[in-house]
Amino acid sequence: MKQMHETVSNTGAAGSVTVAESSTALNVEEHASASSNRARTGFPKQNGQSLSYWLQQVRSDPLLDHRTTEDLPNDADTVIIGSGITGTLAAEEHLKIWPEKTVVVLEAREFCSGATGRNAGHCKPDQWRGFGKFEKAYGKEQAIRILNNEADTWKALVSYVREHNVDCDLWVGDTLDVPVDDEVARLAKEVFERYKEAGGKVDHIKVTTDPADAVRISRIKDAKACYAWRASTLQPWKLTAHVMRDNLEKGVNLQTYTVATSVTKAIEGHRRWVVHTERGDIACDNVIHATNAYSAALEPDLKGIITPKPHICTKVVPPRAVSGSQAIQNSYGVLLPDGALFSINPRSSADGSVMFGGSNPGQQALDDWVEKHPINCINDGLTDVKGVNQCVQDFIDNNFQGWSQTTYGPGEGIQYSWSGIIGLSVDGVPFVGELPGKRGQWICAGHHGHGMARTFTAAPGLVNLMSGKSWDTVGLPDVYQITEDRLQKLKGASVSKVAII
């Protein structure tokens, strides 16, 4: 408890952060990405985690602390470390390809209590915004492939939910990207036009460049333009739980509250690897690292390559003036100066409470504080970080039409915020494939705060690679592949500025 109080008051300094005068970048989470302490890593925090809104909704669900068998099996064909969306989807694909093989999923804490169980609930495929940065980093063709892959991923997620009738509050509708400053709007237009010229698909994007129309469509007072396309919001824990329950019925062994402490070469028996835990060891042929932000704690070669960083999500209950027929109907990316961003999920198909995620300007002070106190890089016990909440409050007071004249009654307005740990990738895109020099150890991690638009293709893609398929046939952008060459080039590089939530 003491630790929590210390944390909140120290980060309270974040309240003094102001928005930069000029926009130096578009869609660039400077705030999310400026990590200089490259070696920092850690295992999932064991006590005092904040409870996300999603985790609060499922407290009586026995899956949270499920152990399929009382004792840890001492042998399996494959051990998957991590029960977030990546580990859970990897287990699903594994069952499809090898229904007869044994799979154990290890989870350090409650089921799906990492980033997946704590995010802002947006599955928003980037359909143009990241093109500029991706093109600069990887060239035109790869940049287009990344954005196409995000569209494929979103479609795969929506199809899964519909086909399996998953109760996870899925909403499908127009997401709006709204620049709220002239310079950001200029950059947005430039990137959009360049993407179009490069042959990127844009027919499905409705573009409004007249500020008055943008204000009308978006209901955001300072809107300078508006880009609209299809995306989704959902309850991410419930989706992941649905997939995992199906996995359990088909024979997967899930062991929660079991931290994998190391992976070593098997020195006896017929298996390749041994996964060590405090509850015993498991000998296996394949290990899947679905550990995202925490990957480098188990695999030190990934230090400085995948870096954990706390992020905040804030739950706001809309006041009466913006409820009912006046409720917000779209999800948003509000593009602020200097690369800051509000990601807004209004849970239109559920209770209508509005989740504010992304990297709002208040995140910078939190990042600076974590730099000075790196032990907090895996601290998802942070809550109600003042600077972040203040930015949300300022935005809804000053910019969202209908909210400004509100006198909040009890139960309305900002309720609570929680933290989760994102896995920054040093070059901004995930690492998928076999760990170089470690035959039988596989990874899908480093989703850079944007995993909901990546994992529904990346996780099954990884398992298809395990089955012997070539990279070219699994349909992922080449730049996601983990290779010795990529790792060598990235050693010593500074963290990418490309990040999108």
Ligand X SMILES: Cc1cc2nc3c(=O)[nH]c(=O)nc-3n(C[C@H](O)[C@H](O)[C@H](O)COP(=O)(O)OP(=O)(O)OC[C@H]3O[C@@H](n4cnc5c(N)ncnc54)[C@H](O)[C@@H]3O)c2cc1C
Footprint on residues 81-110 left by ligand X (CB under 6 A): 81-87, 106-109
Give the shortest CB-411-to-ligand X separation in angstroms: 23
Site for ligand X in 20-59 (CB under 6 A): 43-44
What is the phi/psi pair of residue 422, to 5°? -90, 150
Euclidean distance between the first and the last CA atom of the chain, given in angstroms as a whole number: 30
Structure-block tokens of residue 145? 């492939």
Lookup result for tokens 């143009």: 128
For the segment 348-367, give every residue that binds ligand X (CB under 6 A).
357
Residues 113, 331, 383, 496: which binds ligand X (CB under 6 A)?
A: 113
In terms of CB distance, is 319 or 460 closer to ligand X? Answer: 460
Cβ atoms of 310 and 382 closer than 8 Å: yes
Mapped onto helix, strand or coil, the DSSP state of residue 243 is helix
Assess 291 for contact with ligand X (CB under 6 A). Answer: yes
Least CB distance from residue 210 to ligand X, whole Å?
Answer: 29
Given 14, 64, 220, 260, the residue binding ligand X (CB under 6 A): 260
The angle at the Cα of 52, spanning 460 to 130, to the nearest 5 degrees, equals 50
Judged by CB under 6 A, the residue of 290, 366, 388, 443 near ligand X is 290
Q: Does 256 bind ligand X (CB under 6 A)?
A: no
As a three-state string, the secondary structure of 102-156 is CEEEECCCCCCCCHHHHCCCEECCCCCCCHHHHHHHHCHHHHHHHHHHHHHHHHH
52: number of CA atoms within 13 Å, CB side? 27
Which CB atom, from 189 or from 438, has the smaller least distance to ligand X? Answer: 438
Asked whether position 195 contacts ligand X by CB under 6 A, the answer is: no
The least CB distance from residue 147 to ligand X, in Å, is 14
Asked if residue 115 binds ligand X (CB under 6 A), the reply is yes
Alpha helices in 363-477 (DSSP H): 363-372, 386-398, 455-466, 471-474
Residue number, 91 or 215, with CB nearest to ligand X: 91
Judged by CB under 6 A, which of 11, 27, 119, 127 binds ligand X? Answer: 119
Quote the tokens at residue 43: 């295992």
Shortest distance (Å) from residue 419 CB to ligand X:
7
Q: Which of 264, 300, 269, 296 is nearest to 441 (CA)?
A: 264
Q: Would you give the distance in Å from CA 219 to the centre of its chain? A: 27
Output 215 or 282, the one with its CB closest to ligand X.
282
Angle value at C-alpha 42, between 276 and 486, nearest 5 degrees: 90
Residue 65, C-beta contacts closer than 8 angstroms, at least 6 positions apart: 110, 111, 256, 257
- Residue 120's closest CA among 32, 216, 200, 208? 32
Closer residue to ligand X in complex, CB, 421/474: 421
Residue list 378-437, contact with ligand X (CB under 6 A)? 420-422
Of 207 and 452, CB closest to ligand X: 452
Q: How far is the CB of 275 from ligand X (least distance, A)?
A: 9
Among 306, 313, 426, 443, binds ligand X (CB under 6 A): 313
The first and second tokens of residue 237, run together, are: 């824990």
Residue 130 contacts ligand X per CB under 6 A: no
User: Which amino acid would we find at residue 188?
Assistant: A
> CB-wise, 257 or 319, nearer to ligand X?
257
If the CB atoms of residues 219 and 289 are measured against ligand X, the closer one turns out to be 289
Using rule CB under 6 A, residue 63 touches ligand X: no
Rounded to a whole number of angstroms, the minimum distance from the CB of residue 499 to ligand X is 10
What whole-number distance in Å separates Cα of residue 90 and Cα of residue 96?
Answer: 10
Q: Is 447 in the site for ligand X (CB under 6 A)?
A: yes
Minimum distance, C-beta of residue 8 to ligand X, in the bound complex (Å): 16
Report if residue 501 touches ligand X, rule: CB under 6 A: yes
Q: Taking CB under 6 A as the rule, does residue 116 contact ligand X?
A: yes
CA distance 384 to 466: 42
Number of residues lying near ligand X (CB under 6 A)? 46
By CB under 6 A, which span of 12-20, 68-76, 113-121, 363-371 interacts with ligand X?
Answer: 113-121
How far is the C-alpha of 464 from the C-alpha of 32, rounded, in Å? 31
Max Cα distance, the chain (Å): 71
Binding residues for ligand X, rule: CB under 6 A, are 43-44, 81-87, 106-109, 113-116, 118-122, 259-260, 290-294, 298, 311, 313, 343, 357, 420-422, 445, 447, 449-453, 455, 501
